[in-house]
């Protein structure tokens, strides 16, 4: 499986706040067909990286504007369908009130192109429709904003929940092999093994009587 990284910078907006962020966009496939995982801020660098290949799908990890605000332009340029979990339709509609995603992401199924098979794992918590995409053959998971290098994604905003994201990570990501590479929605990549000690500590703490004292966000993550 070929993996290529494109980064773009723009504004993440939610709950009346705005933050400048740099997003990771992942291209996976071969020299003829690719998936684009997330489409942030500016479709033109993504089109340049695609370099004439067929885009089989624009696959969105979740519906926050900084992960979808280049999706329509990219899909139109590449004549590709947009995939999103239906639970994030309310977030999508803020950016695209007059357009719907083309296809629903269905947890437990796989998406295939260019020698890649991405298993869909539903990981709510950062948003209700968050999903991660796992390629078992290559030992890689694309985690969006569910898991970062240094801990889980933020849960201090609308439609998010700290205990839910911990449950998602425990059941859907910590079950992967420790050597699994985690390609994130922002920042550096990591591995499941590298993140496990902190995550296990958070899960343990959340199960104690002081669970209500757990932070909604860790280190300001998106």
Is the pLDDT score of 103 beyond 60?
yes
Q: Looking at 82-86, 123-127, 200-204, 217-221, which range is the least confident one?
A: 217-221
| Domain locations along the chain | 2-213
**What whole-number distance in Å separates Cα of residue 204 and Cα of residue 189?**
24
Cα angle, residue 153 at apex, residues 47 and 196 outer, rounded to 5°: 110
pLDDT of residue 4: 98
The H-assigned helical ranges of the chain are 43-50, 65-68, 71-78, 89-95, 162-168, 192-206
SS3 call for 14: strand
Residues 22-79 have pLDDT tens digits of 999 999 999 999 999 999 999 999 999 999 999 999 999 999 999 999 999 999 999 9
Residues in CB range of 7: below 8 A, 6 or more apart: 22, 23, 24, 25
Q: How many CB atoms lie within 10 A of CB 61?
A: 29
Closest of 2, 3, 15, 13 to residue 40, by C-alpha: 13
Q: How many CB atoms lie within 10 A of CB 215?
A: 11
Residues in CB range of 77: below 8 A, 6 or more apart: 43, 47
Q: Residue 130, Cα to own-chain centre: how many angstroms? A: 7
pTM score of the predicted model: 0.94
* Per-chain mean pLDDT for the chain: 94
Pick the CATH number of 2-213 from 3.20.20.150, 3.60.15.10, 3.60.20.10, 3.20.20.70: 3.60.15.10
3-state secondary structure string across 191-205: EHHHHHHHHHHHHHH
pLDDT of residue 211: 47
Residues 127-138 have pLDDT tens digits of 999 999 999 999
pLDDT of residue 27: 98
Chain length of the chain: 222
């Amino acid at each position: 499986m070929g993996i290529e990284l494109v980064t773009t910078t723009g504004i993440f907006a939610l709950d009346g706040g705005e933050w400048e962020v740099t997003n990771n966009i992942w291209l996976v496939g071969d020299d003829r067909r690719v998936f684009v995982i997330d489409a942030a801020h500016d479709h033109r660098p993504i089109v340049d990286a695609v370099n004439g290949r067929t885009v089989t799908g624009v696959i969105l990890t979740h519906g926050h504007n900084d992960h979808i605000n280049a999706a329509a332009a990219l899909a139109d340029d590449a004549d590709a369908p947009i995939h999103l979990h239906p639970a994030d339709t309310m977030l999508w509609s803020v950016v695209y009130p007059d357009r719907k995603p083309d296809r629903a992401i269905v947890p437990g199924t796989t998406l295939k192109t260019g020698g890649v098979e991405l298993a869909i794992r539903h990981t709510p918590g950062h948003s209700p429709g968050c999903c991660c995409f796992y390629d078992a053959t290559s030992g890689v998971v694309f985690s969006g904003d569910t898991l970062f290098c240094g801990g889980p994604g933020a849960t201090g905003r609308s439609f998010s929940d700290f205990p839910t994201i911990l449950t998602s990570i425990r059941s859907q990501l910590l079950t992967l092999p420790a050597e699994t590479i985690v390609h994130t929605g922002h920042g550096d990549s990591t591995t499941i093994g590298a993140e496990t000690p902190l995550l296990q500590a958070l899960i343990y703490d959340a199960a104690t009587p002081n669970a209500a004292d757990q932070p909604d966000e860790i280190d300001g993550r998106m």
